[in-house]
Amino acid sequence: METKNESLDEDFSEIQESDDTDWKVETSNVREKAIRQREKTKALRKALDERDAKIAELEKPKSEKKAEKSDDELLKRLDKLALKTSGINEADEVELFEKWKTDTGRDSDSIVENNIFKKELEDLRTAKANQKATSNVRGETGGSEIKNDPDYWIAKATKNPDGSMNFPEEMPKELYTKVLDKVLGNSEQSGKPSDLKFYNK
């Protein structure tokens, strides 16, 4: 590799000694070339350092890699233990914990003991409890199973001014006959005719 001094000597040897030489221009040209050479040297040094780091990583003993992996596994187990002892098992609560861990970089114990985290967790649980209570008031709990029961839709039906029944639009079409049979069966037992109107055909 050409040294810096050799490069400068070569530059000076190219300069013709004559009376009309503009030494300021020549000096500026040599300086610019030296700066370019220095930048190239920096880039080469950086590339060599990166290559050495990769080689060192590849040559790292397997025992060290295993130790790093076992440390990660241990941290995961500690996280699970902290969540379990704090009663955090719902997906949205675990998501809140993970967000705190990412944002703060704290360990699991300091997160679950943090007052601000506890307040956010409490707010989350309160919001879920309120939502559940509201759906109980509306009589919509029970998931899809209860919605397959004709009594569910009969209970949600409203009476039109002319006395006929008006069923919700979201009632599945496949339940029409079951609901109809149920209503007609009830009207036969009571001895009263029943007019039905479906508005979701």
What's the token pair of residue 129? 């409890």
The pLDDT of residue 6: 57
For the entire predicted model, the pTM comes to: 0.35
Looking at residue 63, the DSSP 8-state letter turns out to be H
What's the token pair of residue 56? 């060192």
Judged by DSSP in three states, 111 sits in helix
Q: Please provide residue 158's backbone torsions phi and psi, each rounded to the nearest 5 degrees.
A: -120, 160
Q: pLDDT tens for residues 92-132?
A: 888 888 888 888 888 888 888 889 988 888 888 888 888 88
- Which residues are within 8 A (CB) of 166 and not within 5 positions of it... i.e. 6 or more apart? 157, 158, 159, 160, 197, 199
Q: In what order do the strands lie in the sheet with 196-197?
A: 158-159, 165-166, 196-197
State how far the Cα of 91 lies from the Cα of 153, in Å rounded to an integer. 32
Q: Please say whether the beta carbons of 151 and 122 come within 8 A.
A: no
Q: Of 134, 133, 189, 180, which Cα lies nearest the Cα of 157?
A: 180
The pLDDT of residue 201: 44
State how far the Cα of 171 lies from the Cα of 184, in Å rounded to an integer. 18
What stretches in the chain show pLDDT beneath 70? 1-20, 61-69, 136-145, 186-201
